[in-house]
A and B are shown apart, each in its own frame.
Chain A
């Protein structure tokens, strides 16, 4: 079961509200599908994220996927550790592998995402 303190998208991103900021990362399922992650490209501080638009890129040896924003808002922090240790996304997708912190324009955008339970059910539908 995924952590219940956050919400999930069908694109396998998660968003968690933490002291007014939205912390964003990818799910355990996503990192398993990608395999060993070798590179994470993140936006710059101050960039504006737009819901459902690509904000970054994640690469394994044989694949690359866009990262889609679960929420709109300004980037106020990025996880610098991923520059040297992209494997953190594999090892600890929900804590050490977080990607960006966003000042959300509308927290309601997160509210409407899937709960951990709904996301688990959604994963079931993917075989």
Chain B
């Protein structure tokens, strides 16, 4: 069995963030995600990204955070490539930075690409900090305390526990395919493999759900927590602070730092070409290596 866990799986620890109740963490997570969704200005996004990175390092989960961010590499590269490749629409006319073969790199497109990447990374970083420092089982209690209906809370929190399972199952099934000598490469290998993966995973999920319920899971809102601090006045204040920060941030983000606010930096053609070139190259290399690893049968 593979020893690799999903990059956002819970990492046990004893930091203050680990011990903090899941309720304020969930509230701040939600606030952070909404803020990032309405904001496209690179500076506030960079602030969010830095803040989560600092929180991660301070909680001793800098490594897992870095690994999770690295997984987003291909996606980030593809965002820049696609933004630049698509013909940009600029109300006041586009500023052409460089022309590379059939593609015209405009300052507006490049700025938007970079901003989208920052948004992606900022959102992911907030989510990773919370997921990596919170036991999946604690989400259920937190969601119930936030008045999320019991079945919904159960589905959401169990999903957290089960996502890493799918990755492990896929690896085993692809191995089995190779051992059966089936012509397996690229997407043609993955598609038939998905049937047993999902059958096995669903079977396991079903059995796991039964086992968890037989151990009393999902009984009600009064679930206690072995590790994390109780939900007291301090936690309540933190949660409310998260709500306030979320509302204020969203208003500020939407009015001051929205899509229209992205500063267009006119950089020399060489710099633009290098940025896009690196993105394109890493895009091609990463996609290629992903396909190659699937095809290595």
Q: Do A and B come from one complex?
A: no
Footprint of A on B, CB under 8 Å?
none
